[in-house]
Chains A and B, each alone.
Chain A
């Protein structure tokens, strides 16, 4: 489960509570637990081996608690390592916008990129939740135009 999925699940549970007092109490419960886990995680973060920083689940937790030690570009790199075929074309840190370009041509028919898009979004939500938009720039598909084979003279 990613942090985003957890958040959505928590929201669903909160939405079942109608009474204002109940809802505040439930939020306080989540807050207290996050506080506790976050405090422990802050200690653990200093002891983590470097490879853990690229792990989807570990990094998701660290990022959620603002404990991930690496900058945005590096974290985007971790995300892209999990979906081969995409590289950063442009990153606007100020506006939180990222443009990715395809590095291999694939089949040229665009198949697979729809699934890629969802996976990229999921990974970016995990590693770089400060991004607000991502653009997948596809390579133009080039068609080879050749001469017709010369007809055989009978």
Chain B
């Protein structure tokens, strides 16, 4: 009796190559070093894009005005202001067509930009700058908001509107997550669960801004 093991390395290779290529690890866009899944980003003001960077390159751009101010490091702070809640009339005035949106000041365009998650990625909403200013006036979060690198992330659920100040890459991460699980017209149950989890983590992480000494 003889048992022969059938290995077939050639066939195994061809079968592996029938599968789509595995995703390539991301690289630092400045020095090309491989990056782990969790890594830092810089906001590219001119392209309105995020740039993946390694910690060393992120430090290079930490200096204000580096690269003519084109690339700016993200702050990494998460803020919430329990004293200043948006109410329903304010939300109506903003005319946001969806339940979740984020807003930031784009210095290249010199205006506020509102984006919201959609199955095709981040979609831009028409924005009434005057309405926004009215709503945001007196909001500590709006006063704290750094241009290009930070965003106000808003979500309207039954009876309440949450507003967080977050690094802008977090907003794009949310857009990416929702794209992966979006079904049908409004995203479906899976997308809502993803949103709930995401905002749950945000509420644990967010702090109240330090009280400012008023003159």
Contacts and interface: CB of A to CB of B under 8 A. Distances in A.
Interface string B143-166: 000000000000000000000000
B11 interface: yes
Given A7-B13, A11-B9, A125-B11, A65 B2 contact: no
A53 interface: no
B12 interface: yes
Contacts of B13: 7-8, 10-11
Contacts, number: 79
| Interface band, chain A | 20 to 34
Contacts of A34: 14, 17-18
A129 B11 contact: yes
A133 B10 contact: no
Contact of A138 (B1, B8, B21): B1
Contacts of B9: 7-8, 11
A27 B17 CA distance: 7
A11 B158 CA distance: 59
Interface residues of B, number: 19
Contacts of A30: 14, 17
A129 B8 contact: yes
Given A5-B10, A64-B15, 16 more contacts: A3-B14, A4-B8, A6-B10, A7-B11, A7-B14, A8-B9, A8-B13, A10-B10, A31-B18, A38-B18, A64-B11, A121-B6, A124-B6, A125-B11, A129-B6, A137-B1
6 contacts: A3-B11, A4-B11, A27-B17, A125-B6, A134-B4, A135-B4
